[in-house]
Protein backbone atom coordinates (compact mmCIF):
# COMPACT_ATOMS: atom_id res chain seq x y z
CA UNK A 1 0.00 0.00 0.00
CA UNK A 2 2.40 2.68 1.18
CA UNK A 3 6.15 2.98 0.73
CA UNK A 4 8.39 1.53 3.48
CA UNK A 5 9.07 3.97 6.27
CA UNK A 6 12.35 5.88 5.98
CA UNK A 7 14.89 5.35 8.80
CA UNK A 8 14.74 9.03 9.78
CA UNK A 9 10.94 8.79 10.03
CA UNK A 10 11.23 5.80 12.34
CA UNK A 11 13.79 7.61 14.48
CA UNK A 12 11.44 10.57 14.65
CA UNK A 13 8.57 8.28 15.64
CA UNK A 14 10.64 6.70 18.42
CA UNK A 15 11.48 10.10 19.84
CA UNK A 16 7.82 11.09 19.76
CA UNK A 17 6.75 7.87 21.50
CA UNK A 18 9.43 8.37 24.16
CA UNK A 19 8.14 11.87 24.91
CA UNK A 20 4.49 10.77 25.00
CA UNK A 21 5.41 7.91 27.28
CA UNK A 22 7.51 10.13 29.59
CA UNK A 23 4.58 12.53 29.88
CA UNK A 24 2.30 9.65 30.82
CA UNK A 25 0.05 10.22 27.78
CA UNK A 26 0.37 6.70 26.37
CA UNK A 27 1.57 3.32 27.55
CA UNK A 28 3.24 0.57 25.56
CA UNK A 29 0.21 -1.63 26.16
CA UNK A 30 -2.14 0.98 24.72
CA UNK A 31 -0.03 1.10 21.58
CA UNK A 32 -0.11 -2.67 21.22
CA UNK A 33 -3.88 -2.75 21.80
CA UNK A 34 -4.48 0.01 19.26
CA UNK A 35 -2.33 -1.68 16.63
CA UNK A 36 -4.21 -4.92 17.19
CA UNK A 37 -7.64 -3.31 16.85
CA UNK A 38 -6.52 -1.38 13.76
CA UNK A 39 -5.30 -4.60 12.18
CA UNK A 40 -8.56 -6.39 13.04
CA UNK A 41 -10.79 -3.70 11.54
CA UNK A 42 -12.14 -4.73 8.13
CA UNK A 43 -15.32 -4.38 6.07
CA UNK A 44 -16.39 -7.78 7.41
CA UNK A 45 -17.35 -6.04 10.64
CA UNK A 46 -19.61 -3.57 8.86
CA UNK A 47 -21.04 -6.38 6.72
CA UNK A 48 -21.90 -8.37 9.85
CA UNK A 49 -23.63 -5.33 11.36
CA UNK A 50 -25.73 -4.93 8.21
CA UNK A 51 -26.65 -8.63 7.95
CA UNK A 52 -27.79 -8.62 11.56
CA UNK A 53 -29.89 -5.52 10.92
CA UNK A 54 -31.63 -7.34 8.05
CA UNK A 55 -32.57 -10.16 10.43
CA UNK A 56 -33.17 -8.51 13.78
CA UNK A 57 -35.43 -5.42 14.01
CA UNK A 58 -34.27 -4.58 17.52
CA UNK A 59 -30.63 -4.63 16.44
CA UNK A 60 -31.57 -2.49 13.47
CA UNK A 61 -33.05 0.13 15.76
CA UNK A 62 -29.91 0.17 17.89
CA UNK A 63 -27.66 0.37 14.83
CA UNK A 64 -29.55 3.36 13.44
CA UNK A 65 -29.79 5.11 16.81
CA UNK A 66 -26.15 4.70 17.82
CA UNK A 67 -23.75 2.94 15.49
CA UNK A 68 -20.86 3.15 17.95
CA UNK A 69 -22.82 1.35 20.66
CA UNK A 70 -23.87 -1.31 18.16
CA UNK A 71 -20.23 -1.78 17.15
CA UNK A 72 -19.21 -2.12 20.80
CA UNK A 73 -21.81 -4.85 21.26
CA UNK A 74 -20.18 -6.70 18.38
CA UNK A 75 -16.90 -6.60 20.29
CA UNK A 76 -15.36 -3.66 18.40
CA UNK A 77 -13.54 -1.25 20.69
CA UNK A 78 -14.74 2.24 19.81
CA UNK A 79 -12.63 3.91 22.50
CA UNK A 80 -11.10 7.00 20.97
CA UNK A 81 -13.00 6.51 17.72
CA UNK A 82 -15.37 9.17 16.38
CA UNK A 83 -19.13 8.52 16.68
CA UNK A 84 -20.50 6.19 14.01
CA UNK A 85 -23.66 7.13 12.16
CA UNK A 86 -25.57 4.65 10.00
CA UNK A 87 -27.50 5.80 6.92
CA UNK A 88 -30.62 3.76 6.23
CA UNK A 89 -31.32 3.13 2.55
CA UNK A 90 -35.01 2.93 1.68
CA UNK A 91 -36.83 1.67 -1.40
CA UNK A 92 -36.85 5.25 -2.73
CA UNK A 93 -33.61 6.58 -1.20
CA UNK A 94 -29.96 5.57 -1.72
CA UNK A 95 -27.00 6.96 0.24
CA UNK A 96 -23.47 7.55 -1.01
CA UNK A 97 -20.67 8.54 1.39
CA UNK A 98 -17.75 10.78 0.50
CA UNK A 99 -15.36 13.04 2.38
CA UNK A 100 -14.72 15.97 0.07
CA UNK A 101 -12.30 17.62 2.50
CA UNK A 102 -9.98 14.70 3.20
CA UNK A 103 -10.63 11.01 3.77
CA UNK A 104 -12.91 10.60 6.81
CA UNK A 105 -14.01 6.97 6.85
CA UNK A 106 -15.48 4.65 9.51
CA UNK A 107 -12.19 2.80 9.99
CA UNK A 108 -13.26 1.06 13.19
CA UNK A 109 -15.84 -0.99 11.28
CA UNK A 110 -14.58 -0.82 7.66
CA UNK A 111 -10.80 -0.86 8.08
CA UNK A 112 -8.53 1.30 5.96
CA UNK A 113 -10.19 3.38 3.24
CA UNK A 114 -9.39 2.23 -0.30
CA UNK A 115 -7.18 4.53 -2.34
CA UNK A 116 -10.02 5.53 -4.67
CA UNK A 117 -12.01 6.83 -1.69
CA UNK A 118 -9.13 9.20 -0.92
CA UNK A 119 -8.56 10.20 -4.55
CA UNK A 120 -9.13 13.76 -5.67
CA UNK A 121 -11.35 12.44 -8.47
CA UNK A 122 -13.78 10.57 -6.22
CA UNK A 123 -13.89 13.35 -3.65
CA UNK A 124 -14.70 15.94 -6.32
CA UNK A 125 -17.06 13.96 -8.48
CA UNK A 126 -19.06 12.06 -5.85
CA UNK A 127 -20.55 15.32 -4.70
CA UNK A 128 -20.81 17.05 -8.07
CA UNK A 129 -22.01 14.27 -10.39
CA UNK A 130 -22.80 11.33 -8.12
CA UNK A 131 -25.04 9.58 -10.62
CA UNK A 132 -22.26 9.56 -13.21
CA UNK A 133 -19.90 8.12 -10.59
CA UNK A 134 -22.39 5.37 -9.71
CA UNK A 135 -22.85 4.55 -13.40
CA UNK A 136 -19.10 4.05 -13.75
CA UNK A 137 -19.26 1.59 -10.87
CA UNK A 138 -21.98 -0.22 -12.75
CA UNK A 139 -24.49 0.75 -10.09
CA UNK A 140 -27.92 1.39 -11.50
CA UNK A 141 -30.53 2.87 -9.18
CA UNK A 142 -34.09 1.83 -9.88
CA UNK A 143 -36.25 4.55 -11.51
CA UNK A 144 -37.61 6.95 -8.90
CA UNK A 145 -34.86 6.26 -6.36
CA UNK A 146 -33.47 9.51 -4.97
CA UNK A 147 -29.76 9.82 -4.32
CA UNK A 148 -28.45 11.37 -1.11
CA UNK A 149 -24.73 12.14 -0.98
CA UNK A 150 -23.41 12.33 2.57
CA UNK A 151 -20.32 14.54 2.76
CA UNK A 152 -18.45 13.42 5.86
CA UNK A 153 -16.99 16.79 6.80
CA UNK A 154 -16.58 16.81 10.55
CA UNK A 155 -16.73 14.62 13.65
CA UNK A 156 -18.99 11.72 12.64
CA UNK A 157 -18.11 8.75 10.47
CA UNK A 158 -20.81 7.26 8.27
CA UNK A 159 -21.65 3.87 6.82
CA UNK A 160 -24.60 2.81 4.69
CA UNK A 161 -27.21 0.26 5.71
CA UNK A 162 -28.25 -0.97 2.25
CA UNK A 163 -31.51 -2.67 1.33
CA UNK A 164 -31.60 -6.43 1.67
CA UNK A 165 -31.54 -7.91 -1.85
CA UNK A 166 -34.51 -9.89 -3.09
CA UNK A 167 -34.09 -13.62 -3.26
CA UNK A 168 -32.41 -13.92 0.14
CA UNK A 169 -35.43 -15.08 2.14
CA UNK A 170 -34.44 -17.59 4.78
CA UNK A 171 -30.71 -16.87 4.48
CA UNK A 172 -28.47 -17.03 7.55
CA UNK A 173 -26.52 -14.10 8.96
CA UNK A 174 -23.31 -15.56 7.52
CA UNK A 175 -24.82 -15.93 4.06
CA UNK A 176 -26.20 -12.40 4.14
CA UNK A 177 -22.97 -10.86 5.47
CA UNK A 178 -21.09 -12.38 2.52
CA UNK A 179 -23.20 -10.22 0.15
CA UNK A 180 -22.23 -6.96 1.80
CA UNK A 181 -19.03 -5.62 0.29
CA UNK A 182 -16.94 -2.68 1.38
CA UNK A 183 -18.21 -0.79 -1.67
CA UNK A 184 -21.82 -1.41 -0.63
CA UNK A 185 -21.05 -0.01 2.82
CA UNK A 186 -19.81 3.21 1.18
CA UNK A 187 -22.76 3.23 -1.23
CA UNK A 188 -20.96 3.02 -4.58
CA UNK A 189 -22.34 -0.50 -5.04
CA UNK A 190 -25.43 -2.48 -4.04
CA UNK A 191 -25.45 -5.89 -2.36
CA UNK A 192 -26.13 -8.47 -5.05
CA UNK A 193 -27.00 -12.14 -5.01
CA UNK A 194 -24.38 -13.87 -7.19
CA UNK A 195 -25.96 -15.06 -10.44
CA UNK A 196 -24.81 -18.63 -9.84
CA UNK A 197 -26.80 -18.71 -6.61
CA UNK A 198 -29.77 -16.77 -7.96
CA UNK A 199 -30.08 -19.31 -10.80
CA UNK A 200 -30.32 -22.30 -8.47
Partner 1 sequence: MSAPDDRRAEGHGGLNRLRQAVNTFQAGDRVRVKYLWPERHPQPSGLPSAHIRTPHYLRGRTGTVQAVLGSFRNPEDLAFGRPAPQRVLYHVLFDQPPIWNEGEAGDSLLVEIFEHWLEPATNQEKAA
Footprint of partner 1 on this chain (CB under 8 A)? 65-66, 68-69, 72, 78-83, 85, 99-104, 107, 127-131, 146-157
Determine the Cα angle at 36 with ends 73 and 24, to 5°.
100
Closest separation between CB of residue 198 and partner 1, Å? 29
Q: How many CA atoms lie within 13 A of 157 on its CB side?
A: 24
CA distance 186 to 182: 7
Which phi and psi angles does 108 have, rounded to 5°?
Answer: -60, -30
Residues forming the active site: 99, 102-104
Number of H helices, E strands in the chain: 12, 4
Closest separation between CB of residue 147 and partner 1, Å? 5
For residue 72, how far is the Cα from the chain centroid?
15
Adjacent-strand bridge partners of 96 = 149
Closest separation between CB of residue 128 and partner 1, Å? 5
Closest separation between CB of residue 19 and partner 1, Å? 15
Instruction: For residue 190, count CB atoms less than 10 angstroms from its CB and return exposed for 0-12, middle for 13-18, buried for 19 or more.
Output: buried
Amino acid sequence: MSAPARPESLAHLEKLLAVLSAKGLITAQELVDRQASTDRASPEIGARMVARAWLDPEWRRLLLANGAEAAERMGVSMAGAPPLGVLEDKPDLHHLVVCTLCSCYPRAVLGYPPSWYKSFEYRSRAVREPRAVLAEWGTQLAPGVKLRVVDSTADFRWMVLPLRPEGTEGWSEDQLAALVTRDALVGVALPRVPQAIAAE
